[in-house]
Amino acid sequence: MDDASRSNPATPGPASDPLAARPARPRTRLERLTFEAPRLPETTGAWLHVVSGSSPSAVACGVLELAARFLSGGHRVLMVDGGPRLQLHDRFDREMRWGVIECLTGEMPVLGLVQDVGRLGLYLLAHGLPAPRTHWLQLGRLLDESRPHFGRAVLALESDAPAAVGQALAGRHLEGWWAGRGRERRSADRLADRLGIHLSNLDLDAMPDAKLEALDVRLWTLIAERPSAEPSEAPTPEPAPAPVARVPTVTSTLDCDLRVSERLRFLLWMRRIQTEGPRPDPARTPVSATTPSA
Give the separation between CA 189 and CA 258, rounded to whole angstroms: 43
C-alpha to C-alpha distance for 216 and 179, rounded to whole angstroms: 19
Burial class (CB within 10 angstroms; exposed 0-12, middle 13-18, buried 19+) of 289 = exposed
Backbone angles phi, psi at 241, to 5 degrees: -65, 125
* Alpha carbon distance 76, 41 (integer Å): 15
d(CA 123, CA 153): 10
The CATH architecture annotation of domain 45-225+237-276 reads: 3-Layer(aba) Sandwich (3.40)
Q: What is residue 280's three-state secondary structure?
A: coil
> What residue ranges do the domains of the chain occupy?
45-225+237-276
Name, in order, each residue with C-beta under 8 angstroms of 248's C-beta and a sequence gap of 6 or more: 74
What is this structure's pTM?
0.67
Q: Where are the alpha helices (DSSP H) in the chain?
A: 3-7, 29-32, 56-72, 88-91, 100-104, 139-146, 163-169, 185-195, 212-225, 250-276, 287-290
Q: What is the mean pLDDT of the chain?
A: 75
pLDDT tens digits for 143-197? 999 999 999 999 999 999 999 999 999 999 999 999 976 557 788 899 999 999 9
Q: Are 148 and 240 in contact (CB under 8 A)?
A: yes
> pLDDT of 63-111, one tens digit each?
999 999 999 999 999 999 999 899 899 888 888 878 999 999 887 889 8
